């Protein structure tokens, strides 16, 4: 993926393969999904080789913007956008406003639809597209029971002083169960899906004296335990530790031990009794409220879809709608004003059979397509073949 890959290289961050064996990305995806790139998945790491976190790339970009004379305003909530007859645009932030000639709105669905003047000026056909969220589940693609779609996409990491998966089991790669995205249900009511190498772990020596974070859940499966840890639906980060957390951490440990029991039994090793001392979760809502996971339009032409084949025009109730019209209309919500750009992961429509995850690539490609349409050439750091295929090849019709 040259986006965001080429940006991360440009920023000079060190990266390492996500899976230590560096398999082609297409081999890492659990069926039925297929990943359309073969280069291994990589992540940013720090000087010690520890995962540095996805926010590192964002901080790196912000540093570049500031160094180039840009300004950053944090906690500035856009409340409206008015297109003026002069061709300028007024951005309103509560009682304050700013006039601009061009604006790139990195806004998800609910935020875009919540700007009253922009919504009123956007063609009603485009508003209908923007209101459309779909996730078809044809049984030919998702055999019954093979895939569950809950209220959110959640990630959870448990901190163990004794990183038993290193210290006792020598398990440092792969997943448990084999497809951790479909987790093991436990009698605690806490589903568990482990990715052994995802969290940062520090050791005195390889496989000895290790402590660290274990990814115990990363799934869209229906559950409440992890989801209930977020402070409110606008805050995806939840942390459980210290006073009052012991009972829940004990329950979590019981669930992890239940799910991993066969691994200990196969090695005739007794299970650790000490529960984790901390649990960190990221919760991205799928219901359309608060801080949402990307909500896209995943439709299916297959007749095994509940309710029958569901082409895009039917899925969204917009006659004659195509993927291209959807893409172009949302990118420029005011068709006469190519200086008002909308780029966000939410603005994507495709057959569910082609789904390959929610990646930053989508938003960055949209932004690059809008720049291309506004006459900005390919940035020198972005791979030329990729640019020609994904930006020029999928460009909007009108150019300036």
Question: Which is nearer to ligand FAD, 294 or 333 (by Cβ)?
Answer: 294
**Interface with ligand FAD, residue 77, by CB under 6 A:** yes
* DSSP letters for 121-176: HS-HHHHHHHT--EE---TTTS-TTS----SEEEEEEEEESS-HHHHTT---SSEE
Distance in Å, CB of 161 to ligand FAD, minimum: 26
Complex with ligand FAD: residue 34 or 106, whichever CB lies closer: 106
Instruction: Give the residue, chosen from 164, 344, 353, 373, that forms a contact with ligand FAD under the rule CB under 6 A.
Output: 344
**Binding to ligand FAD by residue 259, rule CB under 6 A?**
no
- Using DSSP's 3-state secondary structure scheme, residue 25 falls into helix
Please give the DSSP secondary-structure letter assigned to residue 267.
Answer: H
**Per-residue binding letters, 260-279, with ligand FAD (x by CB under 6 A):** --------------------
Instruction: Give the residue, chosen from 78, 118, 220, 341, that forms a contact with ligand FAD under the rule CB under 6 A.
Output: 78
Whose tokens are 């059979």? That residue is 353
Q: Which residue has the tokens 């939410």?
A: 346
Q: Which of 155, 230, 253, 286 binds ligand FAD (CB under 6 A)?
A: 155
Q: Which two tokens stand for residue 271?
A: 């299970």
Site for ligand FAD (CB under 6 A): which residue of 358, 378, 386, 396? 358
Position among 8, 45, 107, 214 found at the interface with ligand FAD (CB under 6 A): 107
Question: Which one of 29-37, 101-109, 161-169, 186-194 is the stretch in contact with ligand FAD (CB under 6 A)?
Answer: 101-109
Distance spanning both ends of the chain, measured CA to CA: 28
- Contact between 293 and ligand FAD by CB under 6 A: the answer reads yes
239 neighbors 280 (Cβ within 8 angstroms): yes
Cα(391)–Cα(400) distance, integer angstroms: 15
Do 166 and 172 touch, CB atoms closer than 8 A? yes
313 binds ligand FAD (CB under 6 A): no
| Under rule CB under 6 A, residue 230 binds ligand FAD | no
**Cα separation, 25 vs 18, whole angstroms:** 10
φ and ψ at 227, to 5 degrees?
A: -60, -40
- With residue 248 as reference, give the H or E element that holds it: helix 246-267
The pair of structure tokens assigned to 133 is: 């969220």
Among 359, 374, 386, 395, interactor with ligand FAD by CB under 6 A: 359
When binding is defined by CB under 6 A, the residue of 363, 371, 372, 390 that contacts ligand FAD is: 363
Q: Which of 199, 282, 333, 351 binds ligand FAD (CB under 6 A)?
A: 282
Q: Is 162 in the site for ligand FAD (CB under 6 A)?
A: no
DSSP state of 378: P
Residue (260 or 345) nearer to ligand FAD, CB: 345
Should residue 284 be labelled a site residue for ligand FAD when binding is judged by CB under 6 A? yes
Alpha carbon distance 163, 368 (integer Å): 43
Residues lying near ligand FAD in the complex (CB under 6 A): 4, 77-78, 106-108, 111, 153, 155, 282, 284, 293-294, 344-345, 358-360, 363
């Amino acid at each position: 993926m040259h986006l965001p890959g080429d940006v991360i290289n440009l920023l000079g961050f060190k990266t390492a393969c996500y899976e230590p064996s560096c398999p082609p990305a297409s081999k890492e995806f659990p069926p039925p999904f297929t990943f359309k790139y073969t280069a291994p998945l990589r992540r940013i790491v720090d000087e010690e080789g520890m995962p540095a976190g996805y926010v590192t790339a964002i901080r790196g970009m912000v540093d570049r913007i500031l160094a180039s004379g840009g300004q950053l305003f944090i906690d500035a909530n856009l409340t409206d956008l008015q297109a003026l007859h002069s061709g300028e645009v007024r951005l309103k932030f509560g009682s304050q406003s700013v006039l601009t000639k061009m604006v790139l709105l990195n806004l998800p669905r609910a935020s875009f639809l919540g700007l009253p003047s922009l919504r009123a000026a956007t063609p009603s056909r485009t508003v209908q597209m923007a209101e459309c969220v779909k996730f078809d589940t044809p049984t030919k693609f998702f055999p019954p029971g093979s895939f569950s779609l809950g209220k959110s996409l959640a990630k959870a990491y448990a901190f163990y002083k004794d990183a038993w998966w290193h210290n006792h089991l020598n398990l440092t790669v792969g997943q448990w169960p084999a497809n951790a995205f479909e987790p093991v249900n436990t009698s605690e009511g806490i589903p568990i899906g482990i990715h052994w190498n995802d969290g940062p772990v520090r050791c005195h020596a390889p496989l000895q004296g290790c402590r660290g974070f274990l990814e115990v859940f990363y799934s869209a499966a229906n559950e409440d335990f992890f989801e209930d840890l977020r402070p409110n639906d606008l805050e995806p980060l939840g942390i459980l530790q210290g006073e009052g957390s012991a009972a829940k951490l004990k329950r979590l440990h019981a669930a992890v031990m239940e799910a991993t029991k066969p691994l200990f039994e196969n090695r005739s090793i007794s299970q650790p009794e000490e529960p984790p001392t901390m649990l960190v979760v990221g919760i991205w809502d799928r219901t359309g409220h608060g801080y949402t996971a990307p909500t896209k339009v995943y439709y299916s032409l297959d007749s095994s879809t509940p309710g029958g084949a569901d082409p895009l025009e039917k899925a969204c109730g917009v006659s004659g709608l195509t993927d291209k019209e959807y893409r172009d209309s949302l990118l420029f919500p005011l068709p006469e004003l190519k200086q008002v750009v909308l780029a966000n992961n939410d603005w994507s429509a495709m057959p569910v059979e082609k789904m390959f995850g929610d990646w930053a690539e989508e938003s960055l490609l949209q932004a690059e397509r809008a720049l291309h349409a506004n006459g900005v050439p390919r940035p020198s750091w972005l791979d030329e073949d990729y640019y020609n295929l994904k930006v020029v090849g999928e460009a909007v019709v009108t150019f300036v």
